[in-house]
Amino acid sequence: MIEFNFKFTLKQAIGENGLEVTEIRSLESDLVQARRNLNKLRRNKDIGFYDEMNDTEMVKAVKEVADRLFSKDLNTLYVFGMGGSSLGAIFLKEALGGIFKDSGNNGNMDKEARKNGGVFHKKINVIFSENIDPGYIYKNIEKIDIKKTLFCFVSKSADTIEVVAQFFIVKEMLQNTVKNYKDNLLFITDKKGGFLRRYADENGISALDIAENVGGRYSIVTAGTLFPAYAAGFDIDKFLHGAISYRDNILNKGVFENNPVYSLAAIIYLYYRQKKRNIFVINVYSDYLREFSRWFRQLFAESLGKNLMSPTPVTAVGATDQHSQLQLYMQGPQDKLTGFFCLKNFRKDYIINPSGFKEYGYLKDKKLSELLINELKGVELALAALGRPSFRVTVDNMDEFTLGELSFMCMEMVPVLGMLLKINPFDQPGVEKGKKFAYLLMGRKDGFLGRQSPSLSEELEELSRLDNMADLTY
Ligand code: PA5
């Protein structure tokens, strides 16, 4: 279950910087319209994440491929993917992989569980490369047994340069080390995708599909995330069940009928447009939510940052960053809205015993989690006292079902906010220019300039004008 508390965004709590409930409610018709627009896109199959999670064939394929590939000697999964093609899986691995992991018997694959479509039970070490820093990749490769590793390339477009470049490196390494190296490869891409998909088809390499109408940052409900999650031993059915039940619950209620998603979108919108709060702080109070904050930041930034719009999302982890960023949030510019994300059940805890140290007597018999939660509360109250708004989202249990709920909450909230801002939350046209310049710098000549793009010579001219400016280096 997820709780949403927004009292510290209201005028009666934080004074003149706050919102009136009536202001939030005044957006009702816009929110209803946003929901209608999204529903229309869903009905026309322009966007697929709403329904992809009901695709039982996709889930079956994920399990079958994982069970088949890992039934052999493989014990490591090395995932390569950029942005939305890996952040979801990294988030789930971080959140569920530590003390919250119920499943995984560390032994041999549980055949019964597999037969029943249950959780995959072989212990697989899952690692990621979401960047192309050669030193980092070198270190990862050094730690694994290449022969026992499944190298999985996740790319919706099947053409992302960072992923393709890493594929060439891995391919060469495998060819030099493993006889039937194709068994060590898996591609997860759009069915009709580019290079990687063609390579898989032509060379008989295992492949899984990402639905055509699901973009990277909404792909947490696709094979791109579910395969690594399943391999890591998580119950992907439970995760999807959480997302589906949250979807059905919020979509069947009025926008303000005990329905956090739309209030949240309205609050962020009003703080941005009317109160000029340009920064949205995603502040998690659990180390296990750190990767969630990076996943949510990408979903938010890439979906909303266009047409000169959007608050800038930044991330923080409490209590750690109370000693790094909090000073700025308390007394810096009045330009932030903070969203706190915390846990109710920490699963493991410690009782503090300060016996013999009188000045710390007040800590006696207190739990460490109590200290963390009261630090969060202290920050919320102090921000409120200074007229600085915040809201709190509490995740009761860190399990697959609840993370499914949390994921869907964010994936519905962001596009609704996009509709309020009148932008398209499903494209990312702004990232193209940097990619083009990088291609030109790497010597690429043709086949990549879009139809509406300036000609190759114009692009080259602009690039060399900027690139040849005298360096201002000391
Ligand atoms: O959210 C997005 O659309 C992007 O972050 C993509 O996921 C990212 O650019 C990787 O693209 P692809 O999956 O095509 O390799």
**Rounded average pLDDT over 292-314:** 97
Exposure of 82 by Cβ count < 10 A (0-12 exposed, 13-18 middle, 19+ buried)? buried
Per-residue pLDDT tens over the stretch 366-423? 999 999 999 999 999 999 999 999 999 999 999 999 999 999 999 999 999 999 999 9
Per-residue pLDDT, averaged over 154-174, amounts to 96
| Cβ proximity of 118 and 112 under 8 Å | yes
* Atom 9, ligand 1: residue with shortest CA distance: 83
At residue 108, the pLDDT reads 38
Residue 266 lies in a domain: yes
Domain assignment present for residue 428? The answer is: no
Q: What is the mean pLDDT of residues 172-182?
A: 93
Residues 301, 158, single domain; the answer is no
Co-location of 91 and 160 in the same domain: yes
pLDDT at residue 109 in the model:
41
Query: Which of 186, 204, 234 is the last residue before a domain boundary?
Result: 234
Please give the average per-residue pLDDT across 296-308, as a whole number.
Answer: 97
Instruction: For residue 142, tell me if it sits in a domain.
Output: yes
Q: Ligand 1: which atom is nearest the Cα of residue 299?
A: 1
Q: Does any domain span residue 414?
A: yes
More confident residue, 361 or 455: 361
Q: Are residues 70 and 181 in the same domain?
A: yes
Q: Does residue 216 line the site of ligand 1, with CB under 6 A?
A: yes
392 vs 380: CA distance, rounded Å: 9
What spacing in Å lies between the alpha carbon of 84 and ligand 1's midpoint?
5
Is the CB of residue 197 below 6 angstroms from any atom belonging to ligand 1?
A: no
Residue listed under structure tokens 């609840």: 402
Nearest to 62 by CA among 206, 194, 247: 206
pLDDT tens by residue, 45-93: 999 999 999 999 999 999 999 999 998 789 999 999 999 999 999 999 9
Whether 468 is in a domain gets the answer no
Residue tagged active-site, from 16, 115, 257, 323 = 323
Which CATH number is 98's domain given? 3.40.50.10490
Residue 463 in domain: no
Q: What are the tens digits of pLDDT across the range 211-242?
A: 999 999 999 999 999 999 999 999 999 999 99
Task: Output the pLDDT for position 448.
Answer: 66
Percent of the chain with pLDDT over 70: 94
User: Which domain covers residue 173, as residue numbers?
Assistant: 49-234
How far apart are the C-alpha atoms of 342 and 3, rounded to whole Å?
10
∠462-464-465 over CA atoms, to 5°?
Answer: 65
* pLDDT computed for residue 120 by the predictor: 56
Q: Are residues 174 and 249 in the same domain?
A: no
The pTM is what?
Answer: 0.94
249-253 average pLDDT score: 94
Q: Is the CB of 325 under 6 A from ligand 1?
A: no
Residue 26 resides in a domain: yes
Burial of 352 (0-12, 13-18, 19+ CB in 10 A): middle
Alpha carbon distance 432, 438 (integer Å): 10
Average pLDDT, the chain: 92
Q: Is the pLDDT of residue 10 over 90?
A: yes
Q: How far is it, in rounded angstroms, from Cα 366 to Cα 414?
A: 38
Q: How does residue 98 score in pLDDT terms, banded at 50, 70 and 90?
A: confident
- Domain membership of residue 404 (yes or no) is yes
Q: Within 13 Å of residue 79, how many CA atoms lie on the same side as its CB? A: 31
* 201 and 293 part of one domain: no
- Give 160 Cα–ligand 1 centroid separation in angstroms: 8
Asked whether 392 lines ligand 1 (CB < 6 A), one says: no
Q: How many domains does the chain have?
A: 2
323 is an active site residue: yes
Q: Which residue has the higher pLDDT, 418 or 469?
A: 418
Task: Give the largest Cα separation in the chain, rounded.
Answer: 77
pLDDT band of residue 447 (cuts 50, 70, 90) is low
Same domain, 199 and 265: no
Q: Report pLDDT digits (tens) over 101-137.
A: 764 433 334 445 555 544 455 789 999 999 999 999 9
